[in-house]
Amino acid sequence: MSTTTEVLENADERMKKALVSLHKELQTVRSGRANPQMLDRIEADYYGTMTPLKGLANISTSDGRSLTIQPYDKSSLKAIEQAIHKSDLGLTPNSDGNVIRIGIPQMTEERRKELGKMVKKIGEESRVAVRNIRRDCDQDLKKMKGAQISEDEIKDQEAALQKITDKFIKEIDKYIHDKEAELMEV
């Protein structure tokens, strides 16, 4: 059986992972600027296997308004182009036979609001994940009551667990607020 300190450390560690996951997820949400992480969720059919784009090509931004995709294998060019067309990013790839260029158009107000809703949904999923971690750890603490530690000690540890949870919820809210602000920039 673990100690109360181990339970709190476990909660902290798991909540950090949820925050890292949120950060990665938010990077894939398109904002007004070109960002190679926008394409992280896209996979292309490469010889019958769905492969992430970053495994098939070098993706870079030449300026704030365009992405350049240089496939490692020229035969994957068409598959990469099709995968980008099929994605929900609303981007149009242009190929010259060697390199794919994607111009990042200005987003409409409607698209910004749509993406804002998506960001809020991602944020709420992260908050739920953090709360689930708190619930699991709270149950672990309650199992220790009586045999290992006193009820007062349990209350103190639950308060400490709530502080950890509040800290991560506040960070999630900050990430979401920052991403929304980035989306609304014109």
Q: How confident is the model at residue 37 (pLDDT cuts 50, 70, 90)?
A: confident
Give all domains of the chain, ordered by start, each with its CATH number: 4-27+108-184 (1.10.132.20), 36-103 (3.30.1360.40)
Least confident of 59-68, 70-79, 92-101: 59-68
pLDDT at position 173 over 60:
yes
Q: How confident is the model at residue 120 (pLDDT cuts 50, 70, 90)?
A: very high
pTM above 0.75, yes or no: no
What integer best gives the mean pLDDT of the chain? 86
How many Å apart are CA 58 and CA 68, to the nearest integer?
A: 8
pLDDT at position 90 over 60:
yes
pLDDT in tens, 150-168: 888 888 889 999 999 999 9
